[in-house]
Amino acid sequence: MDPSRYRALPDGFKCGERVEQDSAGLYSVLFYCNLPGLKTQTLEFSCREPSCGALEGDEEAATLTDDDYIVDPNFFDDGYTMAGKTGFKVWTGTRFLIEALIWKNPSDDKRLREIQDTIRRGARIIELGSGVGVIGTYLAAMGANVLLTDLPTLVENAIDLNLFRNKGILSDSTECPKWLQPNGAPIGNGWASSTPLDWTVPIDDQLTIEQMTSLDFIVASDVVFLIEMLDSLLDTVSALFKASEVQSPTFILSFQRRDAKDGKESKAFTTVDSILEYVKQRGWAIECLTWRYVTISKDTDEGLIKGKTEVYVFEIRP
């Protein structure tokens, strides 16, 4: 880890969450985060569970009791997996990726600043594994044009609902870009739209030519905690690299270290070393743009234990 790439918490950025109850009496969690220079203006995202590692210090946290949780209504949906279930909450890498891409820091190097500026100037972005839609919506609010993708269940029951919730917020946008039509939503200075994308199915069967080409960035956050997902993710990224090779997009990935304490490679869970190995096997270059220590909590037989781990933002180039 390069100490010069360490990133402190930015001044002014705040996240939080609170419990919501709908007209049917069902509970959910509302995750919110403010925009730069607008402490009172926030984006809001409905989630099924409290976030994991996304809050810092004394930020407001929500708690659901066992009685508050409902039976998963999407359990029997086609293609719905454990990976899909985890998409209904916000994770550590989500917050850090927003900070790195939007909230400028004196320690940021030249390349990270170039990325930040490109996003605000209307970058064309596809997000993989968008979950409840925090990153794609936030980047759109700051000026980017973003296509959010995930399994059909998450698009229908999380992403689209949250895009509608934030639609028109501080909107100063003109006509929706053609590749995000007909369902593009104006958010802040940019546009966002969504479409289902299964990494195990060829992207040619799921995306239009307009959606696959002329990309500036592919982004994803904490989407490969299972090692079995890593090849599928990188296959999808590879296909997008090839489809948009004239534009030469790069892949920006945030990832929280979850390595075993004994240093052994896990056969089930993705580690930092496995990401590095899989990327290099494909002949791609990978660089850590920035990183930070985050506090994590674990329930054990001895009670709740807090510790530290690292969260990274990588840039991967073909």
pLDDT digits (tens, 9 = 90+) for 27-49: 899 999 999 986 678 999 999 99
Determine how β-strand 285-300 pairs with β-strand 250-256.
Answer: unpaired
For residue 113, being part of any structural domain is answered with: yes
Which pLDDT belongs to residue 313?
A: 97
Which CATH number do you get for residue 172?
Answer: 3.40.50.150
Q: What angle do CA 299, 305, 311 make, to 5 degrees?
A: 95
* Contact between 233 and 223 (Cβ < 8 Å): yes
Q: Assess if residue 57 is contained within a domain.
A: no
The SS3 call for residue 235 is helix
Distance (Å, rounded) from C-alpha 149 to C-alpha 169?
21
Residue 7 resides in a domain:
no
> Of the spans 57-71, 75-89, 144-158, which averages the highest pLDDT?
144-158
List the structure tokens of 177: 């870009």
Residue 10 in any domain: the answer is: no
| Cα–Cα distance for residue pair 298/304, rounded to 1 Å | 6
Q: Considering the domain boundaries, does residue 164 fall inside one?
A: yes
- Whether residue 196 contacts residue 151, with contact meaning beta carbons closer than 8 Å, is answered with yes
Q: Which domain holds residue 174?
A: 83-317
- Chain-wide mean pLDDT for the chain? 88
Beta strands per DSSP E along 54-189: 124-127, 145-150, 185-187
Task: List, for residues 72-127, the tens digit of each pLDDT value.
Answer: 666 556 665 656 668 899 999 999 999 999 999 998 999 999 999 999 999 999 99
Q: Indicate whether 111 belongs to any domain.
A: yes
Does 162 score more than 60 pLDDT?
yes
Q: Which of 39-43, 269-273, 277-281 has the lowest mean pLDDT?
A: 39-43
Domains in the chain: how many in total? 1
Residue 209 lies in a domain: yes
Instruction: Give a yes or no: residue 300 inside a domain.
Output: yes
